[in-house]
Amino acid sequence: MRRDGVDGEAAAAWSLVVPLKPLVRAKSRLSRAAGEEFRPRLALAFALDTVAAALACEDVQDVVVVTDDQPAGERLAALGAHIVPDTPARGLNAALAHGASEVRARRPGASVAALNADLPALRPAELARVLHSASLFPRAFLADAADIGTTLLTATSGVELAPAFGGASRARHLASGAREITLPDVPSVRRDVDTGEDLRTALALGVGPHTALQAPALPPQVRASGA
């Protein structure tokens, strides 16, 4: 979480909004690689590792998780996240906009970032680098490892988040005027997990403890490059 600087002033204070589908529907593309029964456990593990790493980032003030999954919400709240129900119930981008509104209802001047819930290898230091770069622009985003989607979208104080996640969201965020962050050496912030190959790559990067706990139960072909 945010720490005070040596000059006594607070460091940058981002509020992160993390969306999480009900686990029965989350990460459906992983069913083929991990099995339908195991998939919800992986989705929860990814979210727990993502939120734990985000909360450990020195530039993060707080994390809001938008979810209607009560058991998952309880686990994430135990880490320190603030849980907000998906009141709009109109899909991913509506949930993110709702979470951002909830943040600014409590902290009107907050800088807000939307972060994917499936970043099990997320490193707090790499996230801090990305957020520092994002703070230089009204809106900014980080593309996923495939350079097609988006893993992080930011809006500084007073600027609307205007999320356009899903599918080829990199192009949509570029078209919306958001600045693309092109930092090298931040693979953990770009490595979202949708497929078995994505998971192998994340395992090779080094996942957080919750995903690592699940890794031994993965099929050998999925964990071959990692655990």
Q: pLDDT tens for residues 50-82?
A: 999 999 999 999 999 999 999 999 999 999 999
Strands 179-180 and 139-143: parallel
User: C-alpha angle 70/227/120, rounded to 5°?
Assistant: 35
Mean local confidence (pLDDT), 1-16 = 55
pLDDT at 190 over 50: yes
Cβ atoms of 138 and 112 within 8 Å: the answer is no
Q: How many CA atoms lie within 13 A of 144 on its CB side?
A: 24
Cβ atoms of 130 and 51 within 8 Å: the answer is no
pLDDT of residue 10: 40
Strands 150-155 and 139-143: antiparallel
Return d(Cα 122, Cα 206) in angstroms, integer.
Answer: 9
Quickly state the pLDDT bin for 11 (edges 50, 70, 90). very low
Which DSSP helix (H) or strand (E) runs through 115?
A: strand 111-115
SS3 category, 140: strand
Tell me the sheet residues that pair with 135. Answer: none
pLDDT of residue 6: 32
The single-letter code of the amino acid at 150 is T
Cβ atoms of 164 and 178 within 8 Å: the answer is no
